[in-house]
Amino acid sequence: MAPRTNLDKSPLLQRKLPDLPTQPGCYLYRDAEQNLLYIGKAKVLRHRVKSYFTASPKDAKTRRLVARIWDLEFIVCETELEALVLENNLIKEHRPPFNILLRDDKSYPYVKLTREPFPKVYVTRKIRKDKALYFGPFFPASTAYRTAELVYRFFQIRDCDIDIDGKRGRACLKYQLNRCTAPCIGAVSQDDYAEQAREAKLFLEGKRDELKARLEAAMWKAAEVSAFELAAQHRDALQQLDAWFTRQKAATADQEDTDLYGSAVLDGRACVHRLVMREGRMVNRHEYILDEIETFDGAVLAEVLQRVYSTDPVPGRILVEVMPEHAELLRDWLGGLRGTKPVLHVPKKGEKVDLLSMAQENARLALERKFEPARLNEAVLEGLQAFLGLSHVPRRVECFDISHGQGREVVASCVVFSDGIPDKARYRRFKMTQEQNDDFANMFEAVTRRYKRMKDEGQEFPNLVLIDGGLGQLHAAEAALRELGLDHLELASLAKKEELVYRPGRSEPLRIPKSSPVVQLLQRIRDEAHRFAITYHRNLRAKRTIQTELTQIPGIGPATAKKMLQSFGSILMVREAQEVDLREAIGPGATAKVVAWRTAKGAPPDS
């Protein structure tokens, strides 16, 4: 069956499709508003473009793309390799929504080595198109700061923002601490500083052997000219480098620079985990998240490699779990970037398979860490629907609780959970109009006030109304909803004593196992409603205490009363406080009034 398209409606497609060329090139799809949707390459433009409108796409993402195509453009190239280069440049420039766009986790920091006459090194979380070198991201983030600290210590690279002209009056403290060679005062030549920066770059790239050779040569050269302090610095750097690189967890005897790619797919998302091996040591890793991916195949991998190496250096060898589509063409393109063609290989045995498995396991764990909680919440909500016999999955749950102190400061809370997560912006609290020690009447009032307003304002109602309490509270809420004409809303209550769940129309409660995630979710919602209600009640009670006790003191207002409570903790402690402590807290004038009040109350005077 042919895919659903705009072919019959769009005169632009009808006119352009029959006249497509047979040369290699790039094609660009646009929607009815001329927004760019997708950029692709083809060995034969006519065959590739027409295939979108004649064959049924295998995946949902392509079906949605085809349904939106209204217009197309094409650019003819001399060779398929030229088309690949052009496609990559166009995608980087325009970032169409239906092309694979790697989402690297930019919350992790990078170490940046700037490109300027006197480069500097610092930690950043933003990558800019400024031709600087970025190393990372670092996991955990503290590793980035430790790495930058080692660069300052080993290579004395600056981290300041001042303009370097060599004319500064004096150097900062870092020069005295041997953390910078002070180009700001002309203490180091530009050539010597450039050598420091080259060594720092080798360190950040993980090129231990080359860096050691350079440091050893510099150490002996300094010793020959009796620059023993400088030679000692190189010696110490060599020793610390060995200790630093020894801490790298993964290492192999193979010295070829290698990138390994492992993947995992979960619920339409994919994670690609890239392990970076330099001179046989794992020096870095990257995670890329891909949306709307049903299977990770050679076509997807080919696009990932294009996106990665359009910005990152190409290693000598790339190990993958599946051979990328058009592998030879991709090698030609990568070879043009690198100077020589890299090896593309799917390992079958040995330590390379183990490393590839490590990358795949990291990808799987990353997906679960990022997206599994949402899937688990979905399963729990579906379980709650089944347990309670609800007509819909309870994506939005509202829970009510009442709090008071023997009929005083009576309040109600309404907390909202969306997809199993607290939605605090929608929380509401109510101060009851009648102070009475009647939980049923208070629940009736709270539910009535909440849903009358929502009904009047045309707001969306929850999928489940949850009441903290037993049958009495449930019947009160049920009566309130019936009076509002909202008796179609799903309703339940959770009794604290045995965690029994009551439903309207059922005389027997539901007994859900206490170990079930379903009852744990109900408890979490109920406990949050209780916390929100009791916090409001305590605030009102504290306010009343201030107003009815301390503010009765002649000449003492709420602000001074609050200061006394903050200083002494309670009214009893205010009564017993020493006069010198009162003067320090509220001043001599207010203290005199408090002392007069205490004397009138019969409190003993200060000794």
pLDDT tens track for 472-510 = 999 999 999 999 999 899 999 998 777 889 999 887 888
Q: Is 531 exposed, middle or buried (0-12, 13-18, 19+ CB in 10 A)?
A: middle
Report, as an integer, the average pLDDT of 65-79: 88
* Predicted model pTM: 0.44
Instruction: Return the CATH fold of 396-516.
Output: Nucleotidyltransferase; domain 5 (3.30.420)
Residue 602 has pLDDT above 70, yes or no: no
Please give the pLDDT value at position 446. 95
pLDDT value at residue 605: 52
CATH of 11-99, one of 3.40.50.10310, 3.90.1150.10, 3.40.710.10, 3.40.1440.10: 3.40.1440.10
Q: Provide the pLDDT for residue 576.
A: 82
The tens digit of pLDDT for each residue in 17-31 reads 888 889 999 999 998
Instruction: Determine the pLDDT at residue 270.
Output: 87
Mean pLDDT is lowest, of 11-25, 27-41, 119-133, 234-248, for: 234-248
Q: Is the pLDDT of residue 433 over 50?
A: yes
The interaxial angle of helices 142-155 and 228-246, nearest 10 deg, is: 150
DSSP H or E stretch at residue 486 = none
Cis, peptide link before residue 137, omega less than 30° from 0: yes
- Report pLDDT for 372: 63
- Paired with 75 in beta bridges are 26
Residue 25 near residue 48, CB atoms below 8 Å: no
Edge-to-edge strands, sheet with 25-30: 36-42, 25-30, 71-76
pLDDT, averaged across the chain: 83
Check pLDDT > 60 for residue 249. no
Band of pLDDT at residue 280, cut at 50, 70 and 90 = low
Residue 595 pLDDT exceeds 60: yes
Q: Can you tell me the distance from the alpha carbon of 19 to that of 86, in angstroms, rounded to the nearest whole number?
A: 22
User: What are the tens digits of pLDDT across the range 1-16?
Assistant: 445 667 777 788 888 8
Overall average pLDDT of the 144-157 stretch: 82
Backbone angles phi, psi at 594, to 5 degrees: -70, -40
What is the predicted pLDDT for the residue at 507? 75
Query: At residue 108, what is the residue type?
Result: Y
Across the range 552-558, mean pLDDT stands at: 83
**451-465 residue pLDDT tens:** 999 999 989 999 999
The SS3 of residue 56 is coil
Band of pLDDT at residue 318, cut at 50, 70 and 90:
very high
Per-residue pLDDT for 246 more than 50?
no
Q: What percent of the chain has pLDDT over 90?
A: 27
Question: Could you tell me the pLDDT band of residue 219, with boundaries at 50, 70 and 90?
Answer: confident
| Range list of β-strands (E), 327-459 | 343-345, 396-405, 408-418, 421-422, 428-431
Give the β-pairing of 428-431 and 408-418.
Answer: antiparallel
CATH number for the domain running over 549-601: 1.10.150.20
Helix or strand or coil: residue 274? strand
Q: How many CA atoms lie within 13 A of 443 on its CB side?
A: 24
Amino acid at 16: K
pLDDT of residue 427: 94
Q: What pLDDT, in 10s, does the model give residues 167-205?
A: 888 888 888 877 888 899 988 899 989 988 988 888 787
DSSP assignment of 384-395, as one string? Answer: HHHHHT-SS--S
Tally Cβ neighbours within 10 Å of residue 605. Answer: 8
Q: Where are the domains of the chain?
A: 11-99, 110-246, 258-270+299-368, 396-516, 549-601
Under the banding of pLDDT at 50, 70 and 90, the label for residue 251 is very low
Q: Mean pLDDT, to the nearest integer, of 532-548?
A: 75
Instruction: Report the percent of the chain where pLDDT is more than 70.
Output: 87
Each residue of 146-169: b (16+ CB within 10 Å) or e?
Answer: ebbebbbbbbbbbeeeeebeeebe
Lowest mean pLDDT among 406-420, 436-450, 539-553: 539-553
Per-residue pLDDT, 248: 42
How confident is the model over 369-389, as a mean pLDDT?
78
Q: Is 344 helix (H, G, I), strand (E, B) or coil?
A: strand
* Nearest 10 degrees: Cα torsion 592, 598, 603, 607: -10
CB atoms closer than 10 angstroms to residue 410? 26
pLDDT given for residue 407 in this prediction? 59
Burial of residue 40 (CB within 10 Å: 0-12, 13-18, 19+) is buried
36-42 and 25-30 beta bridge pairing: antiparallel
Of the ranges 212-216, 276-280, 519-523, 524-528, the best mean pLDDT one = 524-528
Residue 385 has pLDDT above 50, yes or no: yes
Inter-CA distances, 103 with 64, 124, 179, 272, 296, Å: 21, 18, 36, 10, 16
Q: Which residues contact 458 (CB under 8 A, 6 or more apart)?
A: none
Q: For position 502, what pLDDT does the model report?
A: 92
Conformation bin of residue 61: beta by default, left when phi > 0, alpha when psi is -120 to 50: alpha
What is residue 254's predicted lDDT score, i.e. its pLDDT? Answer: 57
Per-residue pLDDT, averaged over 421-430, amounts to 91
Q: What is the pLDDT of residues 354-375, one digit of tens each?
A: 888 888 888 887 777 676 666 6
pLDDT of 454 reads: 93
